[in-house]
Amino acid sequence: MAKEKQDKQFVKEITPQGEDFSRWYIDVIKKADLMSYSPVRGCIVFKPDGYEIWENIQKELDRRFKETGHRNAYFPMFIPESFFQKEKEHVEGFNPELPWVTEAGGEKLEERLAIRPTSETMIGHMYSEWINSYRDLPVLINQWANVVRWEKRTQPFLRTSEFLWQEGHTAHEDEADARKETMQMLEIYRDFAENYLAIPVIMGQKTPSEKFAGAVDTYSIEAMMKDGKAVQAGTSHYLGTNFAVAFDIKYLDRENTHQFCHTTSWGVSTRLIGALIMVHGDDRGLALPPKIAPTQVVMIPIGPPKTREAVVGRVDELYSQLKAAGVRAKVDDNPDQSPGWKFNEYEMRGVPIRVELGPRDMENGQVVLVSRITGEKRIVQQDQFVEEVQKLLTETHQEMYDRAKRFRDENMTEADTVDELKTFLDGKRGFALSGWCGSAACEAQVKEETGATSRNIPFEAPAKPKCLVCGEPSKHTVVFGRAY
Amino acid sequence: MAKEKQDKQFVKEITPQGEDFSRWYIDVIKKADLMSYSPVRGCIVFKPDGYEIWENIQKELDRRFKETGHRNAYFPMFIPESFFQKEKEHVEGFNPELPWVTEAGGEKLEERLAIRPTSETMIGHMYSEWINSYRDLPVLINQWANVVRWEKRTQPFLRTSEFLWQEGHTAHEDEADARKETMQMLEIYRDFAENYLAIPVIMGQKTPSEKFAGAVDTYSIEAMMKDGKAVQAGTSHYLGTNFAVAFDIKYLDRENTHQFCHTTSWGVSTRLIGALIMVHGDDRGLALPPKIAPTQVVMIPIGPPKTREAVVGRVDELYSQLKAAGVRAKVDDNPDQSPGWKFNEYEMRGVPIRVELGPRDMENGQVVLVSRITGEKRIVQQDQFVEEVQKLLTETHQEMYDRAKRFRDENMTEADTVDELKTFLDGKRGFALSGWCGSAACEAQVKEETGATSRNIPFEAPAKPKCLVCGEPSKHTVVFGRAY
């Protein structure tokens, strides 16, 4: 499909990151043809090149969920208004963002139906019907679905009114089992982010004011974008018996006594696509980590017309070898575009490896590999081609992770006062570790004065003796940052 | 998950098909734990055992779509009211079934938003932005999504207010190319239904009164359920330039002249799950065709406790062999349930092959395979185990297809008058081939007098000289049937 041509008319050059990071982001996603704005406020179209990234995310996470005993199901997206009233914090948290269906099939509805912003209530209702005995537990279900949160300010992928996500919902006999599940899923998210998306993340617990509406404890993984801002890349919630009490999810235990279930929920969404772009992209465009890239290797035949047929023939052979080895490759032998144009094009699209083959390489039995991320050229023997490509893919993942981690570490500081934090955020930008006394008032003051929110309380962080706001003894070390 | 126990409390015995087919259907899907009714009118929960069938349908169709050059994308589910006004037939067809979002984020919306019943309008709008030149064509996009049609009468899987489906939407330079696409996708659906779901179908064209609202021509595959009723199992529409004119989808052709695109759309939905059940199920429960069955083989160790360990060990070895060969198998060695209970259980769940192994089989180096559909027992050598299982799976698919086709053929007749048709439908039931003059009035009269609708005009059918209603010369041979 050549339709990207049209969208590219709007983006002649990509704005450099240093000049205007937001402009850079929009330029890149338009030019790489990942999305279009839609006529509905805050909703985007996930175009094929963008959606394919989501498909790869789905495939890998789904595999991991199933490996850990979860199964998929699908619940209605309409949620009766009365369901939201059952969990007090939940309704307060989500009510302002709900779209309401008030008419259907030509009639006014007796009870308004919300479009799900998340499904704890609907699923809680169903679990109360399904679960009777300890023998029914645990229930380990995941759902891939669209959800809607009518946001005031939206940004493609990172925050859209309708978005795609997965939401796991599990029910357990006791707190210990539910907490184990909560942590297991958080660890799956961390491992996926780091070892698949090459995004280093900070694992930790949300402060009470930042936790999920209705949760006892919320845990998150937080990633740093190249402008120093944070993206919450995944969350896992221990819900205690809050939803079980609200929806009457009870079971008969081994002593024949009724007990409330302990439940969890956990999710990641299409905002991961935005994080991928903002963590790895550069002034030349997208840079996709090899494991998630829809095209891992692009192969470009070069040289004059007279050697063309032989070169393309050899490229096709090498392509078949890659395909047989499970590498996602593509050949671009379009004679209407120059190799130079193609080099730029696939760099902009973030393809991790470019393969060049010309008549001289044919003579020498060689082939050239070029890394998108480092620009390094490797001349390799054709009979080692597949191994060399696989090696470079592995190295590229590691290189991208290392770069992202180095960037993050270089842009983390410790701030002992609100002034220090503000100076840091207005200047160099990034994340700051600070002591916090545990009071919501101090946290709110940080937000008001600096625009930064507490991202989480990292599982691993240096001890900080005093609260950055009140100077009282610190209860936790918190990572603060401005966030998307 | 043992939660099926609870649902099964409601279904002690499966009502025989001959006694009450509708009761049988509901009994089976409850007892096999495929779905739950939800608190929202007409919406069901797709429970893991039901959803897994859909996942298998998705996987195979998605493969076929991509093989034929289609890519997935995702469009907003909210459709501005004004979009529906642009295609007259489309709005008339869908308006009565739309749910409307009138408030969101705490405010009344300026323009009401429908939840998509299908996405021609939204996608048409986007295509008009994306397509400029013949070089942009064809656009070949598919979407996996939830859609809503606020139906008056619903039935689990077959007709629910919210359901899951795929909708392909393509744009082409001319009629020939668009018609080729329409037929290609219809053929993919036929092949999938017959060679994957083991459901024989009748391919044909819908009459004007039964076609998709806004299409020039609609084609369908129609399947016969065991009660003789029809299920439309897939449709493919040639939309002509109707939506292109309505949404201004134009391109510059090779002569630099503006032309309207010719578009198509095509879809199948979760109603296929209902069709699977009603085509293959019997009084013992579900019967799933091997290619789609989540579990293809269940392995049950039998015999007294003293030989148990050795038997289970051997079963596990055989299980590993199946797994390595890509067969979806499962071992049930739960000592708390008798083999007899398990035999019934997995028959009810429709697992195509049961494998039994006891101490006598161990001694003889044998293993027993039992076919769900025929009840046939095969004693095979353990060293031929995998080959024999694969052979029986292949034969089972063929046997299920042949049975369904035999049933369909035995329940098809030719009806020369409305009275003949009515007598047939009230008695034996099934499909009838009849001549039709082409007038909408005659077609409407058939529906009024018999409750049957024209299913389609089959591509292959005997010529019938006269219209069954008016007796005038027939234009087409039509297949009539009562439908879900």
Q: Is the ipTM of this structure higher than 0.90?
A: yes
Q: Which residue has the higher pLDDT, A3 or A67?
A: A67
Helix-helix angle B271-280:B21-31, to 10 degrees: 110
Task: Give the pLDDT score at B11.
Answer: 64
Cross-chain CB nearest to B104 (options A39, A99, A122): A99
CATH superfamily to which A414-481 belongs:
C-terminal domain of ProRS (3.30.110.30)
CB-defined contacts A:B, below 8 A: 186
Position B432 pLDDT exceeds 50: yes
Task: Give the pLDDT score at A11.
Answer: 64
Taking the Cβ of residue B37 and every Cβ of chain A, the question of whether any pair is shorter than 8 Å is answered with: no
- Stretch A312-325: mean pLDDT: 97
Task: Give the pLDDT score at A152.
Answer: 87
Taking the Cβ of residue B139 and every Cβ of chain A, the question of whether any pair is shorter than 8 Å is answered with: yes
Position B183 pLDDT exceeds 60: yes
Task: Give the pLDDT score at A10.
Answer: 52
- The tens digit of pLDDT for each residue in B130-165 reads 999 999 999 999 999 999 999 889 999 999 999 999
CA distance B167 to B142: 6
Task: Give the pLDDT score at B10.
Answer: 52
Task: Give the pLDDT score at B87.
Answer: 86
Position B1 pLDDT exceeds 60: no
Task: Give the pLDDT score at B9.
Answer: 43
Position B43 pLDDT exceeds 60: yes
- The tens digit of pLDDT for each residue in A3-39 reads 444 444 456 789 999 999 999 999 999 999 999 999 9
Position B3 pLDDT exceeds 60: no
Tell the residue number behind the tokens 């077609």, with chain if given.
B443
- Stretch A421-442: mean pLDDT: 96
- The tens digit of pLDDT for each residue in B4-22 reads 444 444 567 899 999 999 9
Residues of A in contact with B131 (CB under 8 A): 3, 6
Taking the Cβ of residue A40 and every Cβ of chain B, the question of whether any pair is shorter than 8 Å is answered with: yes
Q: Give strand pairing partners of A72.
A: A142
Instruction: Tell me the pairing of strands B139-148 and B71-72.
Output: parallel
Position A2 pLDDT exceeds 50: no
Residue A22, classified by CB atoms within 10 Å of its CB into exposed (0-12), middle (13-18) or buried (19+), is: exposed
H or E stretch including B283? none
Position B452 pLDDT exceeds 50: yes
- The tens digit of pLDDT for each residue in A149-159 reads 998 899 999 99
Nearest to A415 by CA among A449, A378, A386, A375: A449
Least CA distance to B105: which residue of chain A? A97
Position A245 pLDDT exceeds 90: yes
H or E stretch including A307? helix A305-324
Task: Give the pLDDT score at B90.
Answer: 87
- Stretch B474-482: mean pLDDT: 98
Residues of B in contact with A7 (CB under 8 A): 130
The b/e string for A356-379 (b: 16+ C-beta within 10 A; e otherwise) is bbbbebbeeebbbbbbbbeeeeee
Residues A483, A232: contact at Cβ < 8 Å? yes
Position A321 pLDDT exceeds 80: yes
CA distance B84 to B114: 9
- Stretch B39-50: mean pLDDT: 97
Start and end residues for every CATH 3.30.930.10 domain found in chain A: 4-280
Per DSSP, which regions of A332-425 are E strands? 353-357, 366-371, 377-381, 412-414
Coil/strand/helix, residue A54:
helix
Residues of B in contact with A78 (CB under 8 A): 40, 43, 99, 162
Give the pLDDT band (50/70/90) at residue B2.
very low
Coil/strand/helix, residue B194:
helix
Residues of A in contact with B73 (CB under 8 A): 45-48, 51
Pairwise CB contact (< 8 Å): B72 & A98: no
- The tens digit of pLDDT for each residue in B76-134 reads 999 999 998 898 888 889 988 999 999 998 999 999 999 999 999 999 999 999 999 99
Nearest to A220 by CA among A162, A267, A171: A267
Taking the Cβ of residue A344 and every Cβ of chain B, the question of whether any pair is shorter than 8 Å is answered with: no
Give the pLDDT band (50/70/90) at residue A428.
confident
Start and end residues for every CATH 3.40.50.800 domain found in chain A: 297-392
Pairwise CB contact (< 8 Å): B101 & A80: no
Selected from 1.10.260.40, 3.30.930.10, 3.20.20.100, 3.90.950.10, the CATH number assigned to the domain covering A4-280 reads 3.30.930.10
CA distance B478 to B208: 12
CATH topology of domain A297-392: Rossmann fold (3.40.50)
Instruction: Tell me the pairing of strands A431-436 and A412-414.
Output: parallel
Tokens of residue A244, six digits: 């079980």
Coil/strand/helix, residue B258:
strand
- Stretch B188-201: mean pLDDT: 98
